[in-house]
Amino acid sequence: MTQFYIDINADVGEGVGNEAKLMPLISSCNIACGGHAGDLRSMTTIVKLAKLQNVKIGAHPSFPDKLNFGRVIMKLSDAHLFDSLKSQIESLQSVLSNEEDVKLNHIKPHGALYNLAAKDETTSKVIIDVIKSLSLPIKLYAPYNSILSNLGIQQNIEVVFEAFADRNYNDDLSLVSRENSNAILHKNDVVLSHVLGIVKQGKVTSINGVEVLIKANTICVHGDTENALGILDYLNTNLIRNGIKII
């Protein structure tokens, strides 16, 4: 049997409070750092949990909009967005500096920022400029064949292609809007089939029944998805049975 490998990540520090149970089931995490959720206290708690479970740590910056949980596009100047994102990431870095043998592994934009950057070059350039300004070998979690991932590769940033275990896709590989009742996948067996197709076949079936080519090095399960813990536990057991090693 061919051996496949996948990272499993989750967005954390968003007020759900299930991080202690999530950490043993994931291999990387994306910590909210003040834009849409989170503060120094929550970041500190989650960094310690991640360190305890040897989970890779990423920053999860957002439009600075806690009111809308970062899920609404904000019209900001490039300079304003740059400063906000860098400030958020540096807040997490200040927490990491207090822990031994812990480093920032990656950056993954959140919500509306993530979706906009996937198709908007101006927004993508701001994110790339922020990463380059940090002068550290930090990875970028981004959608396959998106403007953000393509620009990151062009700028010699290590891009980790991300797909979503608990979300349905449109034909263009954009995520189905959360306003659609079919946007989120909840059932364990459906999620597993979805992930197996992505990892082993490099394909995802869109909400319209179209098979679309996709690549993924990391799979996300949202921490606030209903039954997130059950989904992760099921994936941990059944991915291994299907020849996929979690790394």
- Residues 164-192 have pLDDT tens digits of 999 999 999 999 999 999 999 999 999 99
> What's the rounded Cα separation, in Å, for the pair 24 and 237?
13
User: Residue 226: pLDDT band by 50, 70, 90 thresholds?
Assistant: confident
- Report the pLDDT averaged over residues 80-93: 98
Class of domain 4-246: alpha beta
CA neighbours closer than 13 Å in the CB half-sphere of residue 35: 33
> What's the rounded Cα separation, in Å, for the pair 67 and 111?
13
Tracing tokens 């992760």 back to the chain, one arrives at: 232
Indicate the domain borders of the chain.
Answer: 4-246
Q: How many CB atoms lie within 10 A of CB 95?
A: 21
Using CA atoms, how far residue 77 sits from 70, 122, 196, in Å, is 16, 10, 40
Task: Please report the pLDDT score of residue 111 as a whole number.
Answer: 96
Q: What is the pTM of this model?
A: 0.97
